[in-house]
């Protein structure tokens, strides 16, 4: 019979509880738990608190969640960065292959501004520069241009 490996997520919950001079029974009661078992699991990193519990802990300890669960935050950040790199690679490959036009894409804030009723020349100029930069960056990624030559909108 194989033993299941328990993954521990680094956090500083116990440290912040002790700094507030609170006992585990007090914090467990404030969280609405009948015993300290769940709090112990959170503090040891065996279990990650759900959003509601994390917000309650942040309120009890008066500490931002990101600082309180720093190890978990770093793990999540690493996953997001890995996914961003993966999506960037896939995006370049799809561009090379001629991707499907019906595929959803991320809209930019300038697009929202251009779709509004009142559009001034400043927004239009920003949109022109943005589109120019996107085209240049895409061409560089595909190897069609020499890296980073100034365009007409930039001062040399």
The DSSP result for the chain, as a single string, is -PPPPPPPPP--HHHHHHHTT--HHHHHHHHT-SSSHHHHHHHHTSS---HHHHHHHHHHHT--HHHHTHHHHHHHHHHHHHHHHHHHHHHHHHHHHT--TTS-----HHHHHHHSS---HHHHHHHHHHHHHHHHHHHHHTT-S-S----TTS--
- Residue 59's domain spans which residues? 13-72
Tell me whether residue 84 is in a domain. Answer: no
Tell me whether residue 139 is in a domain. Answer: yes
Tell me whether residue 6 is in a domain. Answer: no
pLDDT higher than threshold 50 for residue 140: yes
pTM score, two decimals? 0.51
Q: Residue 66's domain is classified under what CATH number?
A: 1.10.260.40
Tell me whether residue 2 is in a domain. Answer: no
- Read off the pLDDT of residues 105-137 as tens digits, 9 standing for 90 and up: 455 666 666 777 677 787 788 888 888 888 888
Predicted confidence band of residue 102 (pLDDT cuts 50, 70, 90)? very low
- What domain count does the chain have? 2
Tell me whether residue 155 is in a domain. Answer: yes
């Amino acid at each position: 019979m194989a033993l299941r490996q328990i993954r521990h997520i680094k956090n500083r919950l116990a440290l912040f509880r002790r700094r507030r001079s609170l006992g585990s029974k007090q914090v467990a009661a404030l969280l609405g738990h009948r015993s300290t078992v769940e709090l112990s699991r959170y503090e040891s990193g065996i279990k990650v608190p759900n959003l509601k519990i994390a917000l309650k802990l942040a309120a009890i300890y008066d500490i931002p969640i990101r600082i309180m669960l720093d190890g978990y935050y770093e793990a999540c950040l690493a996953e997001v960065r890995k996914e961003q790199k993966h999506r960037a690679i896939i995006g370049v490959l799809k561009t090379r292959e001629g991707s499907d036009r019906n595929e959803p894409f991320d809209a930019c804030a300038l697009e929202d501004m251009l779709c509004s009723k009142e559009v001034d020349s400043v927004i239009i100029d920003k949109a022109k520069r943005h589109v120019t930069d996107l085209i240049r960056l895409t061409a560089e990624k595909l190897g069609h241009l020499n890296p980073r030559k100034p365009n007409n909108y930039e001062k040399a």
